[in-house]
A and B are shown apart, each in its own frame.
Chain A
Amino acid sequence: MNTTGFVFDERYLLHKTFNGHPECAERLLSIIGGLSTAGLLEKLMLIKAEPADQRWIEAVHNIRYIMKFEEACLWGLPDFDHADNSICRDTYEVAQLAVGGVLKAIDAVMQGEVTNAFCAVRPPGHHAEVNQALGFCYFNNVAIGARYLQRQYGVDKVCIIDFDVHHGNGTQHIFDTDNTVFYYSIHEHPSFAYPGTGREFETGYSGGEGFTLNSTILPGRGDEEYREKLLGDLVPAFESFAPEAVLLSAGFDAHESDLMSGTSLTTEGYDFINDTIMELVNTHTNGKVVSVLEGGYQLDILPVLVTNHIRKLMGV
């Protein structure tokens, strides 16, 4: 059994979105509930989150954008950059704390306190661009984590695996021209799903050509197609890139019961994703992986999927 770290902080609940918004505090409460019912909560090593130092956020985001975001929250504006991105006065600090939680999890893994870690953070991050908030995301938690791994711990090659049902446009664009960060995303086909990017011909450019890989799943498709793409696309690409550390953009909105998407991945299908990834990290990165929550909006199924995911991280 692995020692698995768990990032959670009650302050993550303070990012209040408008009534009826799918990205709500209840998501995290449902996850805590699920883990506690399953008896897993006390077996995890709780990692305390701290607000990220701004220089790490600046490693990815434009400083003017960071300031604009802070101001929008302080003024009490209802949203930032787009009506999707509902904010409140606390959102900026919670977003800083979400990044900080991921950085703490990376510390714990890199310093050998835990084998791997799951970060139950919000707001999510993978849609956030260098200077634009999109799709409920403000700071790109995982992208900042990748830069942190490289600059704080001298890790040369980082792989980000994004299995949220939506394409992580932000993460892809941040590392478009970078051959030290491999970005793999599997998501619903962009002709149907938000945000409309992540087609298979998007493979990075200039110095980063070949270091981005997208697998697309048509609406109504599920387990079989995921299996085919993970084995056919992810596994060989991962093996040839040979990363030293892995970050996951863990989204649970591809499930058949989640109305956010049109894919019909089952609970077992999610386990296949978990198993495939765990096999890769166990054989290539000494099990080093930090998993970061992105989407997942169906509050009955989200805790089940996260619990299963964490079980696989723990190896139980």
Chain B
Amino acid sequence: MFITDMMKTDLIAVRPETTLVDAIQLMETGNFRHLPVIDGDGKLVGMVTDRDMRSAKPSTFLSEEEYQLTFDKVMQHTVGEIMTTELLTVAPYFTLQDALLVMRQKKVGALPVVDEKGRLTGIMSTRDLLKAFVNIMGIGEPGTLLCILVNEQPGQLKKIVDIVTEENVSMGSVLVARDWDEKKRAIFPYLLTNNVIAIKKKLLDQGFELIDPMGWYLGHLPQKK
């Protein structure tokens, strides 16, 4: 999955000479947390975040009158003066995995995506990432989660997939927990159906163990000493 499939592309960008008062209005009406700054060729030159904006505002300890006066003055400054220019950008060929790892390691909430000429093509934010995960887990569609314990040996997943396929059921996703116990894995297929009885019966007939996921959860809670 490339980030071009999930990033936001209908962007609102500003120029470095845009005043802070205009920029704040854009961010508030559009509910953006990140505002990209581009030059006349569409090249990304900086970013302004809602945090940059907050720290540009005068102190709230000032009297109302002083606050308004300073505020009006500050707001006539330009975006170019407060924007971040040391940018972490990514390329359109980045995958979801890349974005996930970069955002976690660099602790950023949004990644501008630029083409080989440095032009802004999109922004990938944690919001887009969350949406992508709902999609990947298949939980946007009605379904049932099964919890199956299998021996750590090849071919187990295939058997499960075969049973599900025989019953003409689609899978929304499959998650695997490797650290269940030493020689076992837990497999969690999310089946896009309400009709799970036949599948459960076949799994039991073939020797699979259907587990109570709460057993695992409780096993991982801190134990009383």
Contacts and interface: CB of A to CB of B under 8 A. Distances in A.
B215 to A, nearest CB: 7
Interface in B138-187: 139, 141-145, 147, 168-169
Contacts of A191: 145
A83 B170 CA distance: 10
A259 B195 CA distance: 10
Considering residues B142, B143, B147, which has the most beta carbons from chain A within 10 angstroms of its beta carbon? B142
B43 interface: no
A14 interface: no
Contact of A220 (B145, B193, B196, B212): B212
A136 B169 CA distance: 14
Interface stretch (A95-103, A192-200, A203-211): A192-200
B173 to A, nearest CB: 12
Interface string B197-219: 11011000000000011110000
A144 B184 CA distance: 48
A136 B194 CA distance: 8
Contacts of A259: 196-197, 200-201
A192 B143 contact: no
Nearest to A295: B194
Contact of A192 (B144, B193, B197, B215): B144
Given A83-B168, A220-B214, A262-B212, A194 B142 contact: yes
A174 B99 CA distance: 39
A84 B196 CA distance: 10
Contacts of A221: 214
Interface string A51-92: 000000000000000000000000000000011100000000
Contact of B198 (A20, A196, A218): A20
Interface residues of B, number: 21
Nearest to B218: A220
A5 interface: no
B145 to A, nearest CB: 5
A219 B216 CA distance: 11
Considering residues B143, B144, B147, B213, which has the most beta carbons from chain A within 10 angstroms of its beta carbon? B144
A221 B217 CA distance: 13
A196 B212 contact: no
B197 A22 contact: yes
B200 A194 contact: no
Contacts of A169: 142
Nearest to A136: B194
Nearest to B144: A194
Contact of B144 (A20, A82, A193, A218): A193
A43 interface: no
B194 A195 contact: yes
Contacts of B169: 83
B195 A218 contact: no
A108 interface: no
Contacts of B212: 219-220, 262
Nearest to A197: B142
Interface string A163-203: 00010010000000000000000000001111111000000
Interface of B: 139, 141-145, 147, 168-169, 193-198, 200-201, 212-215
Interface of A: 20-22, 82-84, 127, 134-136, 166, 169, 191-197, 218-221, 259-260, 262, 297
13 contacts: A83-B169, A127-B142, A134-B142, A166-B194, A169-B142, A191-B145, A192-B147, A218-B214, A259-B196, A259-B200, A260-B194, A260-B197, A297-B197
Q: Which 5 A-B pairs have the closest CB atoms?
A: A195-B142, A220-B212, A135-B194, A194-B194, A194-B144
Given A134-B194, A196-B141, 9 more contacts: A21-B195, A22-B195, A192-B144, A192-B213, A219-B214, A220-B212, A259-B196, A259-B197, A259-B200
